[in-house]
Amino acid sequence: MCLSTMSKIRAAIIAVMSANGVLSRGSSFAVDWSSREDKEFFKNLTRKMGVVVMGRKTFETLNYKPLSGRLNVVLSRTPHHYRDPLSENLIITDMPPEKLLHFLQERGYNDVAIIGGPQIFSLFLEHGLITDIYLTIEPIVLSGDVHFQLVEHDHFLKLLELRKLSSDSILLHYTLKNHSG
């Protein structure tokens, strides 16, 4: 099932990046270097969307605690390794991306935030399921990893919004050209 066969579901990557294109420090996906304004934007947007999807490593950076005020979905190849349920606002699953979005839409979620890490970003992007990308650029140069290195195809974007979050941090909101209407 492709995103185009589902009606009106929006799946948005929400990420923060250093000035030199780094999205995480090495094997740690913790974002302890983003601005207060980026963290506030992230919290507000993901709460508005109602559901966040992340990989196991990103969930580990949260100390296995779901973000409050939204449904947390963790994609794991081994969901049976977790006690079920750890929390009422947590789902740990190995559902394929298309099936997961359909499952969420059937439960009334029409906006889904894809929040990390590299495999999850690439998985949803490569399956044609991403409609938007929200990318904060922070004024820092880091050593680390670029999250979109697992992408195998070109994806063309259209800039919808450029906003200063603070005097030094900017937010870029893109749509994928195949979803821009």
Domain boundaries, the chain: 3-179
Reference 143, options 14, 15, 13, 27; nearest CA is: 27
Neighbours of 100 (CB within 10 A): 21
**Residue 85: cis peptide before it, omega within 30 degrees of 0:** yes
Which helix (H) or strand (E) covers residue 48, if one does? helix 36-49
C-alpha to C-alpha distance for 180 and 48, rounded to whole angstroms: 21
> pLDDT means per 10 residues in the chain (181 residues)?
62 94 69 90 98 92 91 91 74 95 97 91 93 97 73 91 97 85 45
3-179: in CATH 3.90.1150.10: no
pTM reported for the whole predicted model: 0.89
